[in-house]
Amino acid sequence: MRFKLIVALVENERTDALLDAARNAGATGSTLINNARGEGLQRARGIFGMEITTQRDMLLFLAEEHYSRAILEAIARVGEFDETPGTGIAFQLDVEDAVGVKHQVESLGLNPDAGD
């Protein structure tokens, strides 16, 4: 069984919508880390030149590889990452091995003991 780790860094107002989109695309769960901070090409400046940062959330999804692209595309679509600068970013990474996911794999109707 092969997995991908999908990481999404998003404005916290969009978190619930992205979680719903990921679940509808096949995600079986997620981990949410609050209060992440990031910068784009230029720092956002407000009144008196003070730096403005909005709260961001980091969403982590461990997804079976057959579902990972659909999940990533659903997140990108709902998050409007390519349409609106500064709304967030998402990417996926190969996972060499994972444990503790047997119940999620079974819920997808896959054989967790099967090889690649």
Identify the band that residue 2 occupies on the pLDDT scale cut at 50, 70 and 90.
confident
3-state secondary structure at position 103: helix
Q: Domain limits at 72?
A: 3-107
Kindly list the strands in the beta sheet with 3-11, ordered across the sheet, starting from the edge strand earlier in the chain. 31-36, 56-64, 3-11, 88-95
Q: What was the pLDDT predicted at 21?
A: 97
- Please determine, for residue 59, whether its predicted confidence score (pLDDT) is greater than 90: yes
Domain of residue 39, CATH code = 3.30.70.120
The answer as to whether 65 is a domain residue is: yes
Domain count, the chain: 1
**pTM score of the predicted model:** 0.79
Chain-centroid distance, C-alpha 7: 4
Q: How far apart are CA 4 and CA 62, in angstroms?
A: 6
Report the DSSP pairing between strands 3-11 and 56-64. Answer: antiparallel
Residue 115 placed within a domain: no
Domain-located, residue 57: yes
Average per-residue pLDDT for the chain: 83
